[in-house]
Chain A
Amino acid sequence: MAPDVGLISLFFASIFTSNILLSNFLGMCSFISVSKDFTSSNGLGLAVTFVMTITTAINWLVYNYLLLPFGLEYLRYIVFIIVIAAIVQISEMIIERMSTNLYMSLGIFLPLITVNCAILGVALFMQIRNYNFLQSIIFGLGSGLGWWLAIVSLASIRKKVDNSPVPAPLKGPGITLITIGLMAMAFMGFSGMLNVQ
Chain B
Amino acid sequence: MAQKDMISIAKENLWYNNPVFIQILGICSTLAVTNTLINTSIMTIGVVFVTGLSALTVSLLKSFIPRKVRMIAQTLIISFYVIIVDIVLRAYVPEVSRALGPYVGLIITNCIIMGRTEAFAQSNPPLLSLWDGITTGVGYMYILMMVAFVRELLGFGTLFGFQVLPDTFINWTIMVMPPSAFFMLAIFIWILKGYMFRKEVKK
Contact = CB atoms under 8 A, between A and B. Distances in A.
Question: Could you tell me the dominant secondary structure of chain B's interface residues?
Answer: helix
B185 interface: yes
A158 B179 CA distance: 18
Given A77-B105, A169-B197, A25 B178 contact: yes
A42 B189 CA distance: 28
A156 interface: no
7 contacts: A25-B28, A29-B111, A81-B108, A117-B109, A169-B191, A177-B189, A185-B179
B1 interface: no
Interface residues of A, number: 43
A81 B25 CA distance: 20
Given A169-B192, A169-B194, A170-B190, 17 more contacts: A25-B29, A25-B31, A25-B32, A26-B29, A27-B28, A29-B25, A29-B111, A74-B87, A77-B79, A78-B79, A78-B80, A81-B108, A85-B72, A115-B114, A117-B106, A118-B28, A169-B197
Interface in B159-203: 177-183, 185-186, 189-194, 196-197
A3 interface: no
B189 A121 contact: no
Nearest to B98: A128
A125 to B, nearest CB: 6
B86 interface: yes
